[in-house]
Structure 1
Amino acid sequence: MTNLALALPTAVVSMPALAQTSADRSDYWHYGWGWGHMIFGSVMMIVFWGGIILAIVLAVRWLGGDSGRVTRSQSRTNGPLDILHERFARGEIDKEEFEERKRLLSD
């Protein structure tokens, strides 16, 4: 009974505050801010999610390691004989052509 006796006056006293309209509390709705905060918030949201996606992509690429691609620096280290051996192994040239080109390259 004591709880009800304390709760009832508290509820009755707070009723006028809840009955106020937004016009009565102009600072509550932050009038005068304009649209700048909405544009800033939108840009920040795009930057935030773009950063998250970029971090995920970079983490996957870093964790994935070398995917078997030949990079520019690797292709420069391959000499002509290495390329000739690769072409012969892939079947692009036959044995006679391989021997002839190998002889020409070693001269």
Structure 2
Amino acid sequence: MFGQCGNWFGYNAMNGWGGIGMMIFWVIIIIALIYFFSKNRTTISAPYSESNALSILQERYARGEISDEEYETKKKALSKSR
């Protein structure tokens, strides 16, 4: 059964899909790790910008989430912070 290294039940791990399958597995793992860390890095290190805050304010106003007065006061506060 385990007479030779890598030979289980008469199937050598390097024949067929054994070696290729392991290589594909590690390539997928490495790609997943690169994707995960690159995505986290861009979302975490994105700097806060006033133009982004203004665009969010404009979107909220367009959706009707805030009133005219609230929009104007927040817009003035953002322009003062520049």
TM range (shorter): 0.3 to 0.5
Higher strand share: 2
TM-score (norm 1): 0.38
Over alpha carbons, which structure has the higher Rg? 1
Q: Which has the higher helix share?
A: 1
